[in-house]
């Protein structure tokens, strides 16, 4: 039997003339998802005032989405492989649209938190299909362009979320306050559902089309048996060697089944890790948070052991662990996780610096974020379309270094200018940071998906997105500890900066030195306690005691705002150095890639294409 792969095996058998329209649909879906990760941040004060939410509830409104998203991602990718990516995409999009409506119509914090959980879970079904659909739909020469566009839009969505959220809250459309940040998803979701139904082809993993994927398993005596994957699309016998060394051939022609136990273990591991990270700082890191994170590590070990056993026996594991035998994929995924730890922390402290530190309005903070979005689009487009095909892994390393340089410049400018820094002074560091961001995101996506066969595109996409979400959650939790710990530790800096001006103004008012010393001591205690407060909406008792003199109160109010800005600016600078260190580790990871590792390695694919109609 002739099993040679035809020269055009990398391309779909019949190119879909509507593939770019379908791409626009999935692009809109990916944009909606990434938008909803950040858009809530700038609306927090409006939500809190309207619903009377406690700060712990506000934290869960933000965390619920990421928690549910990360928990469902891997399973969502596998469901698309088995049941068809178009089908799962449509289910996820419909659920996401309905959940967005529920978020916008929420009447209390509990309803909003619940709706955000559902919204994140539906995104976990929808998003893994996007990159898998791109892999299955586009031939190699178009795929790089599609991924570059997707990466540029995705990289800018986080910043656009801040901008759009700030504008929608500021405009107060139809007196709906914060609600339009969710309701805007409804018309977009309906349009995407209609368009996807009409123009999108279905596809699924070739292992799920009714064709068997041959795999010879290692014998119990340690001897290896070669794995044979025929590329002619015909069923292949799976040779499972028994304990006595005799072969027990089994022909698997049935479609793979959903790995329910693996799914449960994967979701449990994610929940055990992210829940304590979301709650730890607020609760003071009690012992059970560390026990849960330890249990997460144990669950990951159980998951790996079970997936290996399932691959040897039943087959159709949730994750094909053979993916990690590819050194470029394994190292790239680890570096990708590090990247999002650094960037997840950056987005948090950046928002805190502009709003809580400088006191900027949501609209001003959001519009400033546009410069990062512009840089991300430039970096993604240039890296994949021009640089990556020529320089390979060096583009990823250069992107990480440029991103780190942007962090360093931004932190220095924040500490140098303090409360007086303007939006225009942030343009250059934001552009540099965004360009570096885009140069890493776009080629890395291509690198990771380029190392796996098309039949595992859904699983690899799920791992890729899970790595992003876990990295973001870890980054937020870790940088929160660093940022707020340093803010508390260094709270006297701002008071020392403003103290001479405060003394001068109090002296002008005729207050004696003893009275000035007492006022400044109380002022220092107030600033220190505010910096140490877990809930920033709580006014410490030391700040409730006024002097009784309106003029003195005005002086202290202005001084407090300036001292707060100074503390936030210096803490922002201090924290970004942790981001720089993480990006340096990421660069070392990419440096460990083989020198000849390419971002697209399917010229010699031994897998049949997976653009198989789901109905076959």
What are phi and psi for residue 234, nearest 5 degrees? -90, 155
Residue 461 pLDDT level (bands cut at 50, 70, 90): low
- Burial of residue 113 (CB within 10 Å: 0-12, 13-18, 19+) is buried
Average pLDDT over residues 177-183: 90
Task: Indicate whether 221 pLDDT > 50.
Answer: no
Tell me the C-alpha to C-alpha distance, in Å, between residue 86 and each of 153, 155, 375, 558, 611: 21, 24, 32, 57, 12
Helix (H, G, I), strand (E, B) or coil at 232: coil
**In this predicted model, what pLDDT tens digit does every residue of 102-114 receive, in sequence order?**
999 999 999 999 9
pLDDT of 3 reads 37
Residue 160 pLDDT level (bands cut at 50, 70, 90): confident
**In this predicted model, what pLDDT tens digit does every residue of 229-255 receive, in sequence order?**
433 333 343 444 444 444 443 444 455
Residue 217 pLDDT level (bands cut at 50, 70, 90): very low
Give the dihedral sign, CA 10/13/15/18.
Answer: negative
- Give the Cα separation of 205 and 413 in Å (integer): 50
pLDDT of 171 reads 84
Task: Indicate whether 487 pLDDT > 90.
Answer: no
Q: Alpha carbon 53 to chain centroid distance?
A: 26
Task: Indicate whether 480 pLDDT > 60.
Answer: yes
Average pLDDT over residues 369-376: 85
Average pLDDT over residues 28-41: 81
Tell me the C-alpha to C-alpha distance, in Å, between residue 613 and each of 84, 208, 397, 492, 606: 9, 11, 39, 66, 20
Q: How many Cβ atoms are within 10 Å of 214's Cβ, its own excluded?
A: 16
**In this predicted model, what pLDDT tens digit does every residue of 300-317 receive, in sequence order?**
999 999 999 998 888 878
pLDDT of 205 reads 64
- Give the Cα separation of 468 and 445 in Å (integer): 11
Task: Indicate whether 260 pLDDT > 80.
Answer: yes
**In this predicted model, what pLDDT tens digit does every residue of 3-28 receive, in sequence order?**
333 444 444 456 777 888 888 888 88
Lowest-pLDDT choice from 158-162, 290-294, 564-568: 158-162
- Give the Cα separation of 349 and 525 in Å (integer): 24
Of 46-60, 93-107, 190-204, 358-372, give the range with the top mean pLDDT: 93-107
- Give the Cα separation of 304 and 69 in Å (integer): 21
Bridge partners, residue 247, by sequence: 241
Write the CB contacts of 373 (distance below 8 Å, at least 6 apart in sequence).
155, 156, 157, 159, 160, 163, 434
pLDDT of 89 reads 92
Question: Residue 505 carries which DSSP code?
Answer: H
Q: Which is the CATH superfamily of the domain at 7-209?
A: MFS general substrate transporter like domains (1.20.1250.20)
Residue 209 pLDDT level (bands cut at 50, 70, 90): very low
Lowest-pLDDT choice from 209-218, 392-401, 532-541: 209-218
Tell me the C-alpha to C-alpha distance, in Å, between residue 596 and each of 28, 335, 399: 34, 18, 18
Q: Which residue has the higher pLDDT, 432 or 361?
A: 432
Lowest-pLDDT choice from 421-425, 521-525, 605-609: 605-609
Mean pLDDT of the chain: 78
Ramachandran bin of 372, using left for φ above 0, alpha for ψ from -120 to 50, beta for the remaining angles: alpha
pLDDT of 295 reads 96
Task: Indicate whether 152 pLDDT > 70.
Answer: no
Task: Indicate whether 214 pLDDT > 60.
Answer: no
- Give the Cα separation of 165 and 433 in Å (integer): 21
pLDDT of 6 reads 41
- Give the Cα separation of 555 and 500 in Å (integer): 12
- Give the Cα separation of 599 and 177 in Å (integer): 45
Lowest-pLDDT choice from 389-398, 433-442, 577-586: 389-398
Task: Indicate whether 91 pLDDT > 80.
Answer: yes
- Give the Cα separation of 152 and 384 in Å (integer): 10
Task: Indicate whether 428 pLDDT > 90.
Answer: yes
Q: Which residue has the higher pLDDT, 573 or 203?
A: 573
Please report how the helices 55-83 and 128-137 are oriented relative to each other, as an axis angle in degrees rounded to 10. Answer: 30
Of 171-175, 224-228, 462-466, 535-539, give the range with the top mean pLDDT: 171-175
Residue 359 pLDDT level (bands cut at 50, 70, 90): confident
Lowest-pLDDT choice from 183-192, 201-210, 370-379, 494-503: 201-210
Task: Indicate whether 208 pLDDT > 60.
Answer: no
pLDDT above 90 coverage of the chain, percent: 21
pLDDT of 88 reads 92
DSSP string, 56-101: HHHHHHHHHHHHHHHHHHHHHHHHHHHH-HHHHHHHHHHHHHHHHH
- Give the Cα separation of 16 and 279 in Å (integer): 47
Residue 351 pLDDT level (bands cut at 50, 70, 90): confident
Residue 603 pLDDT level (bands cut at 50, 70, 90): very low
CB 56 within 8 A of CB 282: yes
Tell me the C-alpha to C-alpha distance, in Å, between residue 570 and each of 43, 86, 418: 25, 49, 8
**In this predicted model, what pLDDT tens digit does every residue of 262-294 receive, in sequence order?**
888 988 887 888 788 777 777 878 999 999 999
Instruction: Write down the domain spans for the chain.
Output: 7-209, 489-571
Length of the chain counted residue by residue: 616
Q: Alpha carbon 348 to chain centroid distance?
A: 12
Helix (H, G, I), strand (E, B) or coil at 250: strand
Helix (H, G, I), strand (E, B) or coil at 536: coil
């Amino acid at each position: 039997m002739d099993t040679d792969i035809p020269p055009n095996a990398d391309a779909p058998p019949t190119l879909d003339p509507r593939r770019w329209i379908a791409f626009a649909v999935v692009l809109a879906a990916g944009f909606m998802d990434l938008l909803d990760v950040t858009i809530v941040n700038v609306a927090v004060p409006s939500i809190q005032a309207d619903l009377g939410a406690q700060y712990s509830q506000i934290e869960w409104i933000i965390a619920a989405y990421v928690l549910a998203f990360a928990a469902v991602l891997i399973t969502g990718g596998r469901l698309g492989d088995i049941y068809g990516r178009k089908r799962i995409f449509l289910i996820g999009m419909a659920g996401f649209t309905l959940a967005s409506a529920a978020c916008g119509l929420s009447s209390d914090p509990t309803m909003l938190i619940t709706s955000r959980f559902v919204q994140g879970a539906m995104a976990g079904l929808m998003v893994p299909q996007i990159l898998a659909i791109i892999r299955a739909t586009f031939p190699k020469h178009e795929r790089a362009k599609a991924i570059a566009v997707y990466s540029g839009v995705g990289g800018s969505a986080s910043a656009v979320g801040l901008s759009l959220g700030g504008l929608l809250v500021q405009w107060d459309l139809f007196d709906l306050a914060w609600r339009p940040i969710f309701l805007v998803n409804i018309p977009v979701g309906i349009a995407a559902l209609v368009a996807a139904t009409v123009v999108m082809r279905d596809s699924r993993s070739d292992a799920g089309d009714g064709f068997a994927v041959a795999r010879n398993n290692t014998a119990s005596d340690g001897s290896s048996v070669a794995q044979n994957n025929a590329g002619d699309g015909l069923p292949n016998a799976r040779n499972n060697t028994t304990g006595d060394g005799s072969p027990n051939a089994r022909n698997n022609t049935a479609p793979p089944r959903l790995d329910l136990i693996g799914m449960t273990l994967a979701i449990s591991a994610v929940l055990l890790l992210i829940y304590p990270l979301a709650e730890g700082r607020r609760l003071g890191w009690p012992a059970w948070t560390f026990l849960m994170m330890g249990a997460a590590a144990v669950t990951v070990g159980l998951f790996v052991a079970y997936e290996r056993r399932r691959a040897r026996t039943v087959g159709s594991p949730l994750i094909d662990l053979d993916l990690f035998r590819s050194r470029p994929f394994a190292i790239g995924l680890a570096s990708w996780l590090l990247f999002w730890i650094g960037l997840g922390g950056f987005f948090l402290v950046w928002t805190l610096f502009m709003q809580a530190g400088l006191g900027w309005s949501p609209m001003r903070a959001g519009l400033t974020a546009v410069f990062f979005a512009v840089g991300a689009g430039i970096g993604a487009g240039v890296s994949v379309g021009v640089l990556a095909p020529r320089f390979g892994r060096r583009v990823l390393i250069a992107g990480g270094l440029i991103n780190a340089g942007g962090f360093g410049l931004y932190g220095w400018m924040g500490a140098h200018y303090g409360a007086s820094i303007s939006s225009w002074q942030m343009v250059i560091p934001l552009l540099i940071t965004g360009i570096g961001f885009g140069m890493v995101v776009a080629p890395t996506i291509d690198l990771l998906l380029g190392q796996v066969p098309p039949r595992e595109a859904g699983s690899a996409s799920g791992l890729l997105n899970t790595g992003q979400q876990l990295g973001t959650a870890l980054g937020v939790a870790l940088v929160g500890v660093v940022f707020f710990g340093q803010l508390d530790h260094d709270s006297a800096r701002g008071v020392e900066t403003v103290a001479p001006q405060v003394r001068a103004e109090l002296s002008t008012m005729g207050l004696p030195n003893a009275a000035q010393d007492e006022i400044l001591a109380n002022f220092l205690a107030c600033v220190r306690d505010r910096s140490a407060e877990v809930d920033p909406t709580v006014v410490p008792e030391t700040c409730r005691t006024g002097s009784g003199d309106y003029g003195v109160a005005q002086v202290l109010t202005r001084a407090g705002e300036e001292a707060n800005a100074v503390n936030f600016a210096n803490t922002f600078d201090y924290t970004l150095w942790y981001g720089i260190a993480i990006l340096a580790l990421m660069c070392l990871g990419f440096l460990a890639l083989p020198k000849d590792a390419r971002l697209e390695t399917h010229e010699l694919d031994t897998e049949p294409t997976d653009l198989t109609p789901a109905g076959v």
